[in-house]
Amino acid sequence: MKRRRVIYEGKAKTLYEGTEPGTLVQYFKDDATAGNGAKKDTIEGKGVLNNRISEYLMTQLAGIGVPTHFVRRLNMREQLIKEVEIIPLEVVVRNVAAGSMSKRLGIEEGTPLPRSIIEYYYKNDGLNDPWVSEEHITAFGWASPQDLDDIVNLTIRVNDFLSGLFLGAGIKLVDFKLEFGRLWENDYMRIVLADEISPDNCRLWDATTGNKLDKDRFRRDMGGVVEAYSEVARRLGIMPESVQGENKGPVLVQ
Ligand code: UDP
């Protein structure tokens, strides 16, 4: 038997070579890190939930015409994705002040922003993903002005759509991070949504109580991480077959 090739090993995901040309397999681990790897733990069941939640959100986005790298879910922890050239940016959208914005600008967490704000961070672990401007991005060629234009348009559509989708589930989409890639189809290139969309990279607050249903529970040692992620899946009307003890049998709510 041949062992499949690891293409990239990330903190929460591993990418393997795909089953078809131009594809990769994205495997969701249970590992959680915060502070650029300073804090580490394993949260049993997290990978299964993120695989399922990201599948659902990417599929819904594809339904409104947002191009994504997602092809199909393969099993509890893996999904088939199109191989793209990742643009080295973390694109953060904020609707409500929280996290690093609150710290940096002294705005109390939970303050609604006058309008949605997009920020860019240069994806570079060695540098701790520094905050950068459009000027840096185009000057250093990480993305062209045309790429950035596409990225902004897609990001605004994703934010509008997901804000509504989550609100319908009683959840406030406070902020989130997106990544984009270049997908080559013959001689043409398109910018597509890549990576994942899950409680690992979104801030999701209960719309009524303000209860945190996202990775801040891990970052801030609040406990109940899997319970919170399960609650998000439950409210979205999706639940993975089984979250803990993956062979306990199916509990499918759909
Ligand atoms: N985020 C992410 N990966 C990162 C940094 C941030 O997914 O490396 C997400 C995070 O979950 C939040 C949003 O981007 O939803 C904004 O994060 P922020 O800049 O406030 O940083 P943090 O407080 O998480 O360090």
Whether 245 shows a pLDDT value over 70: the answer reads no
CA 172 – CA 205 distance, rounded (Å): 5
pLDDT at residue 161, as a whole number: 98
Q: How many CB atoms lie within 10 A of CB 178?
A: 23
Q: What is the DSSP string of 222-252?
A: ---HHHHHHHHHHHTT---S-SSSTTS----
pLDDT at 253 > cutoff 80: no
Q: Under a CB-based contact definition with an 8 Å cutoff, are residues 193 and 68 in contact?
A: yes
For 23, counting Cβ atoms within 10 Å of its Cβ (0-12 exposed, 13-18 middle, 19+ buried), the class is middle
Round to whole Å and give the CA distance between 201 and 212. 13
Taking only the tens place, the pLDDT of each residue in 79-128 is: 999 999 999 999 999 999 999 999 999 999 999 999 999 999 999 999 99
What confidence tier does 251 reach under pLDDT thresholds 50, 70, 90? low
- The per-residue pLDDT for range 214-230, each reduced to its tens digit, is 999 999 999 999 999 99
Asked if pLDDT for residue 34 goes beyond 70, the answer is yes
61 Cα: distance to centroid of ligand 1 (angstroms) = 21
| Mean pLDDT over each residue of the chain, to the nearest integer | 94
The atom of ligand 1 lying closest to the CA of 35 is 25
Report the pLDDT value the prediction gives residue 157, as an integer from 0 to 100: 98
Please classify residue 123 by burial: count the beta carbons closer than 10 Å to its beta carbon, then call 0-12 exposed, 13-18 middle and 19+ buried: middle
pLDDT in tens, 140-188: 999 999 999 999 999 999 999 999 999 999 999 999 999 999 999 889 9
Residues contacting ligand 1 via CB (< 6 Å):
90, 92, 98-101, 129, 175-177, 201-203, 215
* pTM, rounded to two decimals: 0.94
Q: Say what the pLDDT of residue 183 is.
A: 98
200 Cα nearest atom in ligand 1: 11
Nearest CA to ligand 1 atom 25: 100
